[in-house]
Amino acid sequence: MTAVTDHATRQETAASTSSVPPAIELRGISKAFGPVQANKNISITVQRGTIHGIVGENGAGKSTLMSILYGFYKADAGEVFINGKRTDIPDSLAAIRAGIGMVFQHFKLVENFTVLENVILGAEDSALLGPSRRRARGVLKQLASDFELEVDPDALIEELSVGHQQRVEILKALYREADILILDEPTGVLTPSEADHLFRILRGLKEQGKTIILITHKLREIMDVTDAVSVMRRGEMVATRETAKTSPTELAELMVGRKVLLRVEKTKAQSGDEVLRVEDLRLVDAQGVERLRKIGFSLRAGEILGIAGVAGNGQSELLEVLAGLREAEGRVWLRGNPLPLSGPECNGQARRAMRIAHVPEDRHRRGLVLPFHAWENTALGYHNDPRYNPSPWRMDGAAMVADTAAKMERFDVRPPNPQLPAEGFSGGNQQKIVLAREIEYGPDLLLVGQPTRGVDIGAIEFIHQRLIELRDAGAAILLVSVELDEILSLSDRILVMFDGRIMGERMADATDAKELGLLMAGMTET
Mind spelling out the 3-state secondary structure of 197-262? HHHHHHHHHHHCCCEEEEEECCHHHHHHHCCEEEEEECCEEEEEEEHHHCCHHHHHHHHHCCCCCC
Candidates 108-116, 134-142, 259-267, 389-397: pick the segment binding other proteins (CB under 8 A). Answer: 389-397
Between 241 and 363, CB nearer to other proteins: 363
Binding segment (CB under 8 A) for other proteins, from list 7-15, 213-221, 393-401, 511-519: 393-401
User: What angle in degrees, to the nearest 10, is found between the helix axes of 427-439 and 457-472?
Assistant: 10
Helix (H) or strand (E) holding 119: helix 115-120
Considering only residues 122, 296, 397, 415, which one is a binding residue for other proteins as defined by CB under 8 A?
Answer: 397
One of 8, 15, 36, 473 touching other proteins (CB under 8 A): 36
Q: How many residues does the chain have?
A: 526
Contacts of 392 (CB under 8 A, 6+ apart): none
Contact between 393 and other proteins (CB under 8 A)?
Answer: yes
Shortest Å distance, C-beta 320 to other proteins? 9
Closest CA relative to residue 209, chosen from 11, 17, 47? 11
Task: Please tell me whether residue 524 binds other proteins under the rule CB under 8 A.
Answer: no
10 Å CB burial of residue 187 (0-12, 13-18, 19+) is: buried
**Binding-residue pattern over the window 251 to 280 for other proteins, x denoting contact by CB under 8 A:** ------------------------------
Q: Which of 144, 156, 370, 406 binds other proteins (CB under 8 A)?
A: 370
Q: How far is the CB of 420 from other proteins (least distance, A)?
A: 10
Burial 93-111 (b: 16+ CB within 10 A, else e): eebbebbbbbbbeebebee
Q: Does 419 participate in binding other proteins (rule CB under 8 A)?
A: no
How many residues form the binding site for other proteins (CB under 8 A)?
43
Q: Does 399 bind other proteins (CB under 8 A)?
A: no
String marking each residue 319-358 x if it binds other proteins according to CB under 8 A:
----xxx---------------------xxxxxx-----x
Q: Exposed, middle or buried: residue 336 (CB in 10 Å: 0-12, 13-18, 19+)?
A: exposed
Rounded to whole angstroms, the Cα distance separating 394 from 396 reads 6
35 is a contact residue toward other proteins (CB under 8 A): yes
Please identify, among the stretches 7-15, 107-115, 215-223, 374-382, the one whose residues bind other proteins according to the rule CB under 8 A: 374-382
Measure the CA–CA gap between 350 and 342, rounded to whole angstroms. 12
Query: Should residue 67 be labelled a site residue for other proteins when binding is judged by CB under 8 A?
Result: no
| Contact residues for other proteins, defined by CB under 8 A | 32-36, 38, 59, 64, 323-325, 347-352, 358, 360, 362, 365-372, 376, 379-381, 383-384, 388-389, 392-395, 397, 423-424
